Chains A and B, each alone.
Chain A
Amino acid sequence: MNVVLRQMLARELTLANRRRSDLANPLFFFLIVVSLFPIGVTPDLQKLSEMAAGVLWVAALLAALLSLDLLFRHDFEDGSLEQMLLSSVPAQLLVLCKTLSHWLVTGLPLTLMSPVLSVMLALPVSAIPLLMLTLAIGTLTLSLLGGIGAALTVGLRKGGLLLTILIMPLFVPVIIFGTSAVQSFANGMPWTAQLALLGAFGAGAFAVSPWLTVAALRVTVGD
């Protein structure tokens, strides 16, 4: 079983490495959205630092969502997705590998990039580690939950927009807990409860989403 998992992860990462522009696009998008806020709202650092956590979170999520559409698409188009569903290895494990590798190539780079952008938005430096931790959990949850949405829309030509409509309402709790943990920390208020709830939500998504993703794939791939 471990061999299969390792091979699957290696395959996903190799494929991601071969499509470098798909890797870079979310990061550029993140940079652009974040830099639009000072231009569009205000260059006042005082005000920016109040909004920083929310802006970074929303921009990172939009960037990760942008790439979710491709999670199953290439495999669907060349037929390997069908083979994964038919193989003797539990499809849930393969799907979990795919979502994890999606996080490794989008969520993790976005998290690693966030300190630079948070300095530009004047987020207090002491809050940066917590911002990175919440973003890491949040983008992982997005990859997991988004897998369900990507599976539901995989056969559709205009799936990307639909995916956003399907996933964003479900994702409201994560945004709320993530941003409020960082903001509370920056304001010197208790923040551990929000972080615990964020982690709980992520763990729940980890447990449930592979099954739902496979159930959705069995509907849409057969379509």
Chain B
Amino acid sequence: MWQAFVRWFHKWSSPKWFYEMSRPWSFWLGWLALICIATALVWGLAFSPVERLQGNSYRIIFLHVPSAFLSQAIYMTIAVAGAIGLVWRIKLAFYAAKQCIPIGMSMAILALATGAIWGKPTWGAWWVWDARLTSMLILLLLYLGLWALHNAMERAESGDRAAAILALVGVVNIPIIKFSVNWWNTLHQPATLKVTEAAPMHMSMLIPLLLSIFGFYLAFLAWMLMRTRLEILDREKKARWAQQEIRNLEAQ
């Protein structure tokens, strides 16, 4: 049993095997994600009822909440993958962690942008220094730091390990940052921004929201696989199988 697991684990952590096996996955996951997100958006934007307090402006929730969820989940993914890479020296984990960074960064930017657009009609301001907004901004800065560190290193392997260490420091710090920002905010201004907590959601809004979150997760997986596959080809370009594959791709 254990032997079989170890064999399975080693097989999947080989870049070549992973490249071959993941070939169909990003394609099918991508289409499934597209269908889920399209259904959720059409449902949410056109068929869900109007919200009592916020009118139609709440509909941006179908983009805002999934992107905010993902931007946090992806940071955790990076830290876990980085730890796996540091401990077991698995190259593939580093490749995936690296290619998660731009995805997480774009999700954080999307969450901040949709939040600002939502905030304008609801709170009357594009930006307030609320605890959640601030911690999201800090998350974006953490992503920027990871990406900048990766790109600054001359050897990609050093970039992998340095960014993994930084991601681990960040992951320990994230709960502390969250706590401190909450403290800071509640000290200075009482919580007035509770529009979204007025009532539990109605099913006709909740189902498209959950569908949209599911679709975003699938899209992340598909996107990450796609980027990781390219990263594998780039890093393994000295291996014969990778050169063969690059020639095949060029011929297409």
Contact of B176 among A148, A153, A162, A201 (CB under 8 A): A201
Whether A103 is near chain B, meaning CB under 8 Å from some CB there, is no
Query: Which chain B positions have C-beta within 8 A of A220?
Result: 158, 162
Known contacts A170-B170, A180-B187: A219-B161 contact under CB 8 Å:
yes
Q: How far is the CB of B185 from chain A (nearest CB, A)?
A: 9
A-B contact count (CB 8 A): 78
Interface of A is mostly: helix
Known contacts A170-B173, A180-B184: A162-B149 contact under CB 8 Å:
yes
Of the 9-residue stretches B49-57, B60-68, B116-124, B140-148, which lies at the interface with chain A? B140-148
Q: How far is the CB of B155 from chain A (nearest CB, A)?
A: 6
Contact of A169 among B141, B154, B158, B179 (CB under 8 A): B141
Q: How far is the CB of B242 from chain A (nearest CB, A)?
A: 24
Are the CB atoms of B154 and A223 closer together than 8 Å?
yes
Chain B contact residue count (CB 8 A cutoff): 29
* Proximity string of chain B (142-171) to chain A, C-beta cutoff 8 Å, 1 when within and 0 when not: 101100110011110010011001101110
- Which residue on A lies nearest to B154, using beta carbons? A223
Bound form: Cα–Cα A219–B161 in Å: 7
Whether B76 is near chain A, meaning CB under 8 Å from some CB there, is no
Whether B180 is near chain A, meaning CB under 8 Å from some CB there, is yes
Jot down 20 A-B pairs with beta carbons below 8 A, ordered by A. Answer: A153-B152, A158-B152, A162-B152, A165-B141, A165-B144, A166-B145, A166-B148, A169-B145, A169-B170, A170-B170, A172-B177, A173-B173, A173-B176, A176-B183, A177-B183, A184-B187, A219-B162, A219-B165, A222-B158, A223-B153
Sample of 7 further A-B pairs with CB below 8 A, known A169-B141, A208-B172: A155-B154, A156-B152, A170-B142, A176-B180, A212-B169, A219-B165, A223-B158
The residues of B with any CB-CB pair to A shorter than 8 Å are 138, 141-142, 144-145, 148-149, 152-155, 158, 161-162, 165-166, 168-170, 172-173, 176-177, 179-181, 183-184, 187
